[in-house]
Copies of this chain bind each other. A is one copy, B any other.
Amino acid sequence: LEKAMKGRQPTDLMLRCTVLDAEGNVKTISGQFRRTDLCSEHRLNPRDLRKIDSRIPNLVPTILVRKEAILVNILHIRALVKADAVVLFDTYGSADSRLHSVFLYHLEHNLKAKTAGLPYEFRALDSILLSVLSALEAEMVFIRNLIGGLLAELEDDIDHDRFKRLLHYSRRLASFSNRAKLVSFIISLWVVDTLVTDPKIPVQEALEEVLEQDEDLAAMYLSDKNNGITRKPSDHEDLEVLLESFSKQVEEIVNEAENIQSNVQSTQEIVELLLDSNRNALLALDLKISILTMGIGIGTLVAGVFGMNLKSHMEENEYAFLVMSGLSMLVAFAFSYTGLRRLARIRKVGLATNNKKTNARYRWLAHYWRSKRDGWP
């Protein structure tokens, strides 16, 4: 515990970052920066910086708007977006990741392309969200294929090993679904009012909830703040359309993950029923065998009795052998037949109640009632 408490003190002061300048060029790749320098340079609270510190693993994503910067910590991306620079913090062990390099390539390209009409910080945000979305989609496709393949295999044969793989896959699916939901939630926080997109409506400014939202959104226009342009709170259509679009796509992914989960769930339930039903079939066959064995046992008993070295007074009877053989077979057959008939009666299972007596009362009530209910929807 002491360690845990002290672990919170800033012991190791260096962070690895990749920095892109206002032109979209990569200035530094995985350079070492001192924590305190970063704070003072970007006017950040050390507490804020800790939130995007890559060495502290965390699941819950964050988007924070500070005076001169937007801090983003979603999935594999931990970035500080300013009006004229983007600082990407290296996440633990991901230096060689292909995902990261694609992201960096796209970000560079996007920052250089000024024709899109969006300010610098939004182009960066756009790349970040796009990378997050790609990562989620790629994992979604991967998991969907895994589980889809497994369910298809279960169509053919239900066996041990597939259950074990199902367990591994559902754990992964649950973890993915959880992550996607957290991302969806954090983005949707910024798109409360996805329907009001016409900035012409003045009365909107009186709506408090929306207003608050507006301010937060407006606070994101870092470039304008830098240039001393004061935006009207409601004037942020670009950003809203950007966020709304991502929000919708993440929502689709969450929706699909939930569909797969419910699919797996119902498959499990039915597989259990199938196994149960199969077990009953096995038991029934076992029972048949037992019954036949019992019949045979009876025949053997009869034969054994006459095999005793005792006087049965039939030793010399010419037909005794045939009669006794026939008798033992007959007894075996009779017992087996009785057993099998009884089994057949038990095996027949349906949902229809066929107990005449106990039902009589229910039926009467039901009839009495139906007459009333008929008038109902």
Contacts and interface: CB of A to CB of B under 8 A. Distances in A.
Interface string A62-79: 101111000000011000
Given A94-B374, A134-B1, A163-B270, A287 B282 contact: yes
Contact of A212 (B91, B97, B204): B204
A163 B353 CA distance: 9
A139 interface: yes
A360 interface: no
A36 to B, nearest CB: 15
A25 interface: no
Contacts of A153: 358
A228 interface: no
Interface in A84-109: 91-94, 97-100, 102, 106
> Chain A at the B interface: mostly helix, strand, loop or mixed?
helix
Contacts of A189: 195
A198 interface: yes
A334 interface: no
User: What number of copies of this chain does the assembly contain?
Assistant: 5
Contact of A273 (B193, B268, B297): B268
A59 interface: yes
Contacts of A198: 65, 67, 215, 219
A271 to B, nearest CB: 6
Given A60-B248, A97-B375, A305-B325, 12 more contacts: A94-B374, A163-B277, A167-B266, A170-B270, A282-B287, A282-B346, A296-B301, A297-B297, A300-B304, A303-B305, A310-B324, A311-B315
A278 B280 contact: yes
Report which residue of A1, A284, A373 has the largest number of chain B beta carbons within 10 angstroms of its beta carbon: A1
Interface in A248-301: 248, 251-252, 255-256, 258-259, 262-263, 266-287, 289-294, 296-301
